[in-house]
Structure formats: C-alpha cells, structure tokens
Amino acid sequence: MKQTVLIVGAGIIGCSLADELTRRGAAVTVVDAAEVGSATSAATFAWVNSNDKSPHEYSRLNLLGLQAHERAARSAGKGGSRWFHQIGNVQIAQTDDEMAAIELQVQQHAAKGYEAQLLSAANVRALEPSLQAPRLKGGALFPKEGWVDTLTMCSSLVNRAVEAGAVFAPYETVTNVQPNLVTTRTPDGDVRHRTADVIVLAAGNGNRGILSTAGIDFPTLEPTRSGSSGKDSGVGIISTTGPVRSGIRHIVRAEGIAMRPARNGGITFADHPTGGKWDLDDPRIWTVPALLLDRVRELYPSMKDAATENVRLGIRVLPEDGLTIADWIIDDHSLYAVATHSGVTLAAHLAETVAEEVLTGTRHESLESFGLSRFSVASETAEAGTK
C-alpha cells in the first residue's frame, strides 16, 4: 500500500516536498492556512547562492541547493523547472576598502572551489553597460548564482503533484498536532481531522505554534519588535517596481543595495540581498523603499521613471542558530519538521533528501549537522554553565 504523507505548509519547502514525495510514489496531502507560496516565500530576495555562508556544513548544504536547482533547470525540456534564472551575481566596489574586501572574498571562494571571478572596472561595465557607478573600482562575478521566481516554482510544483494524484487543501489552518493526526479549521469554522502515516511540518514560522499544541518547544525565533532581545529574528523589506527597461542584467550588489530582475518585468530591490534587518514595528520601514529606489536610480539612470509597485515585509524562518532544521520530531517516525533560512536556495535539495528520509528512514549525510539534537546539547550546556 502507498505510504500516506500529510505536509503542513505550501511555501517553497512544502511545495517542493509535495512534488518530490508524489513522484516517489507517496499518497500526499498538503494543507495550508492560506494560498500557495504566500508567506515568507513571497517576501524574499530569492537569491540562490552559497556566497559567504558559514559554517562549512551550511555552506556545503547551500552549494548542494544551488546544484539541485541547476539539475532541475537542465531537465526543463522534460517538464523541469522554468523558475531558476541563473543570471550570475555581480558585486561592485566603489571604494578601495570595498575592493580589498571583494578581492579577499574571491580568493576565499576560489580556495573552496566556489566559482568567483575578480572584475576590473572595465569588466563590470561590459557586464552591466547601463550601470553608472561613480568611482567604480571593479568587482566580482559569481556566475553560477541566480534567483528564483518563487510563485512560479511553488505553484508549478504543487500543480504537478496534484496532477499526479496529490490533494491540496488551501485555507485550512492546523490547530493541533498529534502522532499521525492533525486537526484543522477552515475559515467557515469547519473542523477536520486528517491522518497520515507521516506528518511533515513545513509551515515556516507556523511550525513553532503547531508544535506547541503537542507541548513541544521548537527552536525557531520570533520576529523582532523594538525593545525585544537581540536574539530574535529580523524582518526584511523587499520592494519591486513596475515593468521597466532597466538594463539590469545580473543580480547586482553595491554598498547598501541589492537588485535583480523580477517576474513582472520590473526590478526587485532591498538594502541587503536578504532584505536587511528591521524591527517589525519600526515606523521607518515605510520610508526605506523610497530611499532605496533613489539609490537604484543613482546607479541605473535608466530607472528614473520606475515606480515601486509592491513592498513586502518578510519574516525570516530562523532556527535559533540561523541555519536549518530537518529532523524527526518523534522517534517513531510519525512526525518530521523542516524549518530554514535560505529556503529558496535549499528547497530543491531539501526536497530530495527529506523525501528520502521520510520514505526510507535513510538520512542524507548533508543533513547530519542539521538535526534537533544540537539545540538540546546547547541548552544542556547552558544549564550546566549556570549551575
């Protein structure tokens, strides 16, 4: 008989898992409190990279993520991905200090075998002819990096799973979880009980609340508010203009700004590629997009008539150490959870490895460092330290 798997969450992680598990023969149901790809996966810079990531195991996990996107894109003719735009990332330097930092970064990446090329100012201008950067010193090209159109990825994968027999139930909020059973509530107030051989929680920032109904403390961070402790997760601001002939050909990063083409023919921009770090209740948030658009226009005069159409506040899905959690919650293998930052980069690789673990119990070596035991070890050590 087919193994039944219930996935909670239709973000980039849940949709990728739904597709992979269905292709491997499981009977999959996905429930989401809202629509496909509408939470953090809609408010992301979506840069696929393993650039400057640490520790080593996380850097490698991200590299495997990038390679999994490449594989999916290569199989495009056979119904593979149309969402990974592998256009490369150009980082520019306008001061000697910035150039020195880029030189060091390129050296470090080259030593690890991660593709990175140092660029002269002339090289940068050749790659980005519309860029008008005063005092341009040079830069670096990371040719394998790119960005993902997350809405197309999420909806294509969930549609493909449904066409192959999976069930998708939007607007069902999980209110309780127990081994092999979730309780959900619809906007009409209908309560449903759904059972499965395995339940996989891929509910992003929802995992913590769902698991608290079973008395389990899941180690992800709450978004920061002013005055809260520094350990909490920051909020990122992601803005997108309407369609524009910008001439921006790559992901482009300069001091205080990151930009890339967007799915609507406009430009998506942020103060940092991962959207900066803001308190959720900081009123300055709403002044940031206009200031950043000025910076974009300074570098690309071709953007002078562009207007911001969409601003999203993204709340990071952040395990306490800022990395990834992919692990069984219950030892009897009835309940699994995934929560990660860099989820756009990691989704395709996590789908392959988590599906394997859920269906066969075999844990991929790249997940070894990303289990839950590292948090209990940390808290036991901290407790011992206070005694």
The nearer residue to ligand FAD, 275 or 289, going by C-beta atoms, is: 275
The nearer residue to ligand FAD, 93 or 238, going by C-beta atoms, is: 238
Tokens found for residue 64:
């495997």
- Contact between 345 and ligand FAD (CB under 6 A)? yes
Identified binder of ligand FAD from the candidate list 30, 39, 262, 306, rule CB under 6 A:
39
- Contact between 47 and ligand FAD (CB under 6 A)? yes
Residues 157-186 that bind ligand FAD (CB under 6 A): 173-174
The span of 66-74, 96-104, 277-285, 312-320 binding ligand FAD (CB under 6 A) equals 312-320
Task: Count the site residues for ligand FAD by CB under 6 A.
Answer: 43
- The answer to whether the peptide bond before residue 134 is cis (omega within 30 degrees of 0) is no
We find the least distance from the C-beta atom of residue 236 to ligand FAD, in angstroms, to be 2
Separation of alpha carbons 330 and 340, rounded Å: 19
Separation of alpha carbons 286 and 19, rounded Å: 37
Residue type, 89: N
Name the nearest CA neighbour of 182 among 161, 205, 211, 208: 211
Separation of alpha carbons 53 and 322, rounded Å: 11
Identified binder of ligand FAD from the candidate list 31, 196, 292, 350, rule CB under 6 A:
31
Identified binder of ligand FAD from the candidate list 29, 340, 353, 366, rule CB under 6 A:
340
Identified binder of ligand FAD from the candidate list 6, 12, 133, 348, rule CB under 6 A:
12
Residues 347-376 that bind ligand FAD (CB under 6 A): none
What 8-state DSSP symbol labels residue 335? E
Identified binder of ligand FAD from the candidate list 139, 206, 219, 266, rule CB under 6 A:
206
We find the least distance from the C-beta atom of residue 80 to ligand FAD, in angstroms, to be 19
Name the nearest CA neighbour of 17 among 204, 247, 193, 282: 204
Tell whether the torsion through CA atoms of 371, 376, 382 and 385 is positive or negative. negative
The nearer residue to ligand FAD, 34 or 101, going by C-beta atoms, is: 34
Identified binder of ligand FAD from the candidate list 210, 251, 262, 267, rule CB under 6 A:
210
Tokens found for residue 353:
């490895």
- Contact between 273 and ligand FAD (CB under 6 A)? yes
We find the least distance from the C-beta atom of residue 129 to ligand FAD, in angstroms, to be 25
Strand boundaries in the chain, DSSP class E:
4-8, 27-31, 47-48, 84-85, 89-93, 117-120, 138-142, 146-148, 167-169, 173-178, 181-185, 191-195, 198-201, 235-241, 251-254, 257-261, 267-270, 308-315, 324-328, 335-340
We find the least distance from the C-beta atom of residue 209 to ligand FAD, in angstroms, to be 6
CB 260 within 8 A of CB 251: yes
The span of 121-129, 189-197, 214-222, 337-345 binding ligand FAD (CB under 6 A) equals 337-345
SS3 content of the chain, % helix, strand, coil (to 5): 35, 25, 40
Strands 267-270 and 257-261 turn out to be: antiparallel
- Contact between 33 and ligand FAD (CB under 6 A)? yes
* Contact positions vs ligand FAD (CB under 6 A): 8-14, 31-34, 38-41, 43-47, 173-174, 202-206, 210, 236, 238, 273-275, 314-317, 340-345
